[in-house]
Amino acid sequence: MQIYMYPLGALQTNSYVVCNDATKEALIIDVGANPERILACIEGYEVKAILLTHAHFDHIAGLNEVRSSTGAPVYIHGSEQEWLSNPQLNGSSRWPTVTSSIVCTPAEQELADGQVLELAGLSIQVLYTPGHSPGGVSFLIDEHLFCGDTLFAQSIGRTDLPGGNYEQLMASIESKLAGLPEGTICYPGHGPKTTIGSEKRSNPFLSGIMK
């Protein structure tokens, strides 16, 4: 398995391509603006799914282009299904200096907590981790955790946007992420990758939680 990270758009949102060279299949996790590098990366691979950690505009800005190019189905938590087609909910209409309004068609598949997806020859466990947004999810593939805007290196996701909830975010981190092995590699929605162990030891926001 190969993992490629592409910071895209005005907010440098991390989009990930997960490639299985054995099957020549791939997954895409979140799709930032101007996704040309994603499309170049997947040449020669069949994209089996586009997985969304949540539907804020910076994570779906390139969705229409990549979806059209690959024909891959989109997966999102049901509580944010409507966000894809509603610029007010996904935030694109609230930030006109950053983005144009984004309208996407509904996702083909809705995700549930604890679900295990078998895609591209890989097993992907779905962890429901709301707080940054109501439908936030993280994807665990072996020791690799794609945690969206739930957990960052030395930080956590913001909760001051519509639908955000600080207590819910902290509960998500404590109940779903803190118990993962310390060597679990975290791939966040912004910034560098980290590990569960590193965040337990030094994330100033998590004192007393990730023990």
Query: All domains of the chain, ordered by start, with CATH?
Result: 2-202 (3.60.15.10)
C-alpha to C-alpha distance for 35 and 158, rounded to whole angstroms? 24
Residues 146-163, mean pLDDT to the nearest whole number: 96
CA 135 → CA 37, 119, 127, 158, 211, distances in Å?
A: 27, 21, 11, 14, 26
User: pLDDT band for position 12 (50/70/90)?
Assistant: very high
What is the predicted pLDDT for the residue at 94?
Answer: 87
pTM (two decimals): 0.96
Burial class (CB in 10 A: 0-12, 13-18, 19+), 151: buried
Q: Is the pLDDT of residue 208 over 80?
A: no
Please determine, for residue 210, whether its predicted confidence score (pLDDT) is greater than 70. Answer: no
What is the number of helices (H) and of strands (E) in the chain? 6, 14
| DSSP annotation of 207 | T
Residue 157: CA atoms inside 13 Å, Cβ hemisphere, count?
33
Q: Is the pLDDT of residue 49 over 90?
A: yes
Q: What is the pLDDT of residue 81?
A: 97
Q: With bands split at pLDDT 50, 70 and 90, how would you rate the model's confidence at 99?
A: confident
Q: Strand 116-119 and strand 109-111: pairing?
A: unpaired
